Each structure stands twice: as structure tokens, then as C-alpha cells.
Amino acid sequence: MTQQQPHPTPSRPGQPGQMTAVMRAIPQATGPKVLRIGLVQGGKVIEERVIKQRTHVTIGPSEKSMFVIPSKSIPPSFRLFELVGGEYFLNFLEGMTGRVAFKAGVSELSALKSSAKRVTVGNTQAFQVQLSEEARGKIVAGETTFLFQFVAPPPVQPKPQLPVSVKSGIASDIDWTTTIIAAFSFLFHFGAVGSIYSDWMDPVVDDEVDVAQLLESVRQLPPPPPVEQPKEAVEAPAATAAATAEAPKAASGGSKGGAGSPGKGSGGISDARASAIANELAQLDVQMLAALNSSGNATSSVLSSGDVPTGLLENAAASGAGVGKGGVAGLNMGSSGGGTVRPGTAGGGGLATIGNTGTSGPATAGSAQAVKGPVGNAQVGGAAVSGGSVSNAPAVVARMTAGFRRCYNKGLQEDPTMKGSVRITARVGPNGEVLSATPSGGSTLSGTVISCVVARVQSAQFAPPEGGGATIVIPVTFVSQ
């Protein structure tokens, strides 16, 4: 609200001004009046507000105040107009100026201090004056001026409503009769089509009856036709049998027209003689297997030096269960009576003379080349397992012996006098693989032999150790023969 100082002749004391007379002439609404406040800064009204709900009016620099003003002399939230028991009271501080128009006349704030009541508003001492509904005036607080007066409450604004044309919308343009008829028509047609493709009207199926009918129909099926065998497969065995039957006839006919009877000439032998020879050969095989067992001398000689002793074979041949020298088969085991047969050597006894038809000596299977230089031998000691338990450690280490021997023989080709021992420490992983192999010792062995032995240990595969890992120490001694 903007108020300008009236320029006409000043009113006499005790008489209302022109604006007051005009405001009194306007018919006022019944009921309690409300407070109308205008905020003036720099000679301009920057805000005007009607307090429709009768409540406290606070000013100050705090954001919680109703009117926020930049002033350091005013508390953060000072009640300028305080509502007490339904009546408004004006609270003003020592530094505020202004004037208030009452029904009896206009008074300055400095003149009202003597009759005002001293109260405590918050933590601040202030002066309090009661206001009537006819009071109006201005309060200057720093650079801000508050103009106030009591006015009739504004009429309640009706709730805004949309026009009837907008509120009706699309619903008012729909022909509901036609819409309902079309909806029922669609429901009827779709229901009819759905009933055709559904199975709710089909009769109930009894699974037991259907299975019984299926089994009965399977029983009534005719038997399958017989499978025809190919003629070639049937005729081939017949031809083979005929050829077999004709063969003995041809053999017997040839012997009759040839050199004479079987016992007198050099022709074929009889069936009885052939059967007797087969039985004696079978018994001889049994004797040979008994001689070549795992604990016999024959097996140990073959594994150690490669010699094949034939004394046991000749004893088996001389026994009653085997083949004698002059028996039915006439198999002669030799005139020397024993000894060993060395492959490729002459003058051996026993089976060395079998197949010899000349006088220059026994037949040989080929000439054997003599091995030059020393032959190495590897001796593996007991493997020491620590850090875990490996179930197949002795067996895996024993299988490494042949590889160690080959490594040593390679080294003997470079140095025939080389010999010594080495210890290989193998670290086994959780899956049984060798993670690392570290040699120790072996100062008299060449690097070729040691690296070869380490490679052989690294390629080994053990059983998974208990505990997730283990360490195996393998001692190896190399000696030349």
C-alpha cells in the first residue's frame, strides 16, 4: 500500500482526514478485520500482504520471519504485531520510530513509551501498545518502513472450475446404446469361436480303458514276415565243407599211388601219429612254462645277462611227460646235453644245433656286434619322503632307474672313467606333479648326466600327496661295469 503525504490544507486537530472519511464511507464487511501490511524500502512499496489468518507478524533477518529485513539492531525473529487473546498488540523497540493513528488521534512512538507496557519479547525488552480495529500507522525499523491498517477480510474466492464443454469430454460424445450392443456382440462371437477350439465339451477319457484297447490291438497284429538270409552266405560254407572233404581223399590217393604206405615211405603221416605228436608238444609247453617261472634260473639269467639256459628245457624233454629223444616225434634236444645258448655264438649245445643241416657248425640268427667301452649301471637308494605322504613314491622312483642308466651311458661316451653319486630333491605339488627338482652333490659327474637325471625326475608323475604337498629325496649312484 502506497501512501503519499496529502498536500491540501492540513486537517484540524480532532477531525479525521480526507482518506479516513472516504474509508469510513465504504461499507465494511461484518466480522473481525484482518491486518494489512505494506513494506516500503527506498521510497517504494516492495511488498504488500493481507494476513487472512489472525496470527503473529514477525520481522527480522532470520529466514523464519514473515518479513525478512536486513537489520542488525532487530532480533532474528521479532514479533512486531503480537496476537494476545484475539487482539493485536504493537511491540516496538527503543530505536524504532513512527506514529500510530488511534480513534482518539495520532500519536508518535516516542510519546507512547510513557504509557506503553514494558514486556519481554524473546530475550529483548520492548514496549507494547494495544491496537483496535480502527488503528493504522507506520513503523520505521532501520531503513525499512512498515505501513499497517485493519481491513475487512477479502471475500472467499470460489474454486476455479472448468467450463461445461471441457468437463463433458469424450464421454458425452459416445453413443452408449450402440457401444453396449457392439460389446455384447463381440463377446458372443469370440465366445462361440473359443468354444469350438476348446476341449471342455469333449468326453472324459479313461486312460485304463485306452491302454487295454491298445494292448489288445497289438496282440491282434499279424506276426512279422521271416527274414530272408542271403544265398551267398549259405552256399559259401557248403563249398568250404566240400573242399575240406575232398582234401583227405586226394592225400590218401596220392600216397597209394606214390611212394607206398605211410610207415614205409616219405609221404604223409596218419591221423593217429599226428594226434600223438600234438599231445606230446602240448605237454612239452607245460614243462617249459614250469621251467620259465618267476623264481627259476632261466628267468633270472635272461633278466641279468641275457643268457638262455637250456638245461631245464632238456630235462623237460627227457622226462616221461615230455618228448623223448627217440620217441614218436623223434625230437632230439642235442648231443651236448646242456649248457647255455648265446644268440649269435657258435659251438653252443642244446637247442643251438636245431636246424643245422651242414657240417660247418650251428646255424645263427645273425651276427651280433660287440659293444665297445664300459657299460653303466644306476643304483637308486630308498626315497625319503617328507612334508606329506605319497602312496606310490617307491614305485615311481623305481621306474626311473632305466632312465638314470641311459643318462649315465650317455655320459660314459664322453668320459669312460666317470662315476659318482648325486641326490635329487623333488618338490611334489598338490596334484602329484613335480614342481622343481634340485640336484646336490655329483661333483665327479658331468653336467650332461646331472641335467638328464633332473629332467627325468621332473617328468615323473606321483599320486596326489596327503597334506597338499611333499618333498622326495632320491639318491642315485652310478657305477661302470
| pLDDT (0 to 100) of residue 408 | 87
349 within a domain of the structure (yes/no): no
Task: Find the DSSP H helices in 198-229.
Answer: 207-219
Other beta carbons within 10 angstroms of residue 150's beta carbon come to 17
| 456/69 Cα distance (integer angstroms) | 97
Rounded to 5 degrees, φ, ψ at 2 are -100, 130
The helix or strand, by DSSP H or E, that contains position 470, with its residue range, turns out to be: strand 470-480
pLDDT at 262 over 60: no
CATH number of the domain enclosing 440? 3.30.1150
| 383/152 Cα distance (integer angstroms) | 115
| pLDDT (0 to 100) of residue 224 | 82
Mean pLDDT of the chain: 74
- Alpha carbon distance, N-terminus to C-terminus of the chain: 131
| pLDDT (0 to 100) of residue 152 | 87
| 309/68 Cα distance (integer angstroms) | 128
243 within a domain of the structure (yes/no): no
328 within a domain of the structure (yes/no): yes
Residues 325 and 386 in one domain: no
Angle at 271 between CA 265 and CA 274, to 5 degrees: 80
295 within a domain of the structure (yes/no): yes
**pTM for this structure?**
0.31
Domain ends where: 151, 166, 199? 151
| pLDDT (0 to 100) of residue 369 | 45
Residues 382 and 305 in one domain: no
| 460/470 Cα distance (integer angstroms) | 14
pLDDT at 23 over 70: no
pLDDT at 29 over 60: no
pLDDT at 373 over 90: no
pLDDT at 320 over 80: no
242 within a domain of the structure (yes/no): no
**In this predicted structure, which of 19-28, 219-228, 258-267, 435-444 has the lowest mean pLDDT?**
258-267
Residues 311 and 432 in one domain: no
| pLDDT (0 to 100) of residue 115 | 87
For 422-450, what is each residue's pLDDT tens digit?
999 999 998 889 989 999 988 888 888 99
Residues 289 and 380 in one domain: no
Residue 98 lies in domain:
18-151
Other beta carbons within 10 angstroms of residue 126's beta carbon come to 22
CB 96 within 8 A of CB 71: no
Q: pLDDT confidence of 235, banded at 50, 70, 90?
A: low
Q: Please state the rounded mean pLDDT for residues 59-82.
A: 89
Q: Please state the rounded mean pLDDT for residues 96-109.
A: 89
Domain ends where: 151, 167, 201? 151
Residues 301 and 380 in one domain: no
CATH number of the domain enclosing 138? 2.60.200.20
CB 478 within 8 A of CB 454: no
Three-state DSSP state, 203: coil
pLDDT at 250 over 90: no
354 within a domain of the structure (yes/no): no
Domain count, the chain: 3
CB 58 within 8 A of CB 66: yes
Residues 27 and 118 in one domain: yes
For 387-420, what is each residue's pLDDT tens digit?
888 888 898 898 889 888 899 898 888 888 888 9
Strands annotated E in 62-143: 67-68, 78-84, 87-92, 97-101, 106-108, 117-121, 124-130, 136-141
251 within a domain of the structure (yes/no): no
| pLDDT (0 to 100) of residue 278 | 77
Higher-pLDDT residue of 266, 109: 109
pLDDT at 217 over 50: yes
Q: Which of 300, 366, 293, 319 is nearest to 333 (CA)?
A: 319
Residues 380 and 312 in one domain: no
pLDDT at 42 over 90: no
Residues 57 and 117 in one domain: yes
Q: pLDDT confidence of 259, banded at 50, 70, 90?
A: very low
128 within a domain of the structure (yes/no): yes
Per-residue DSSP letter, 317: H
Q: pLDDT confidence of 179, banded at 50, 70, 90?
A: very high
Domain ends where: 134, 151, 168? 151
| pLDDT (0 to 100) of residue 254 | 44
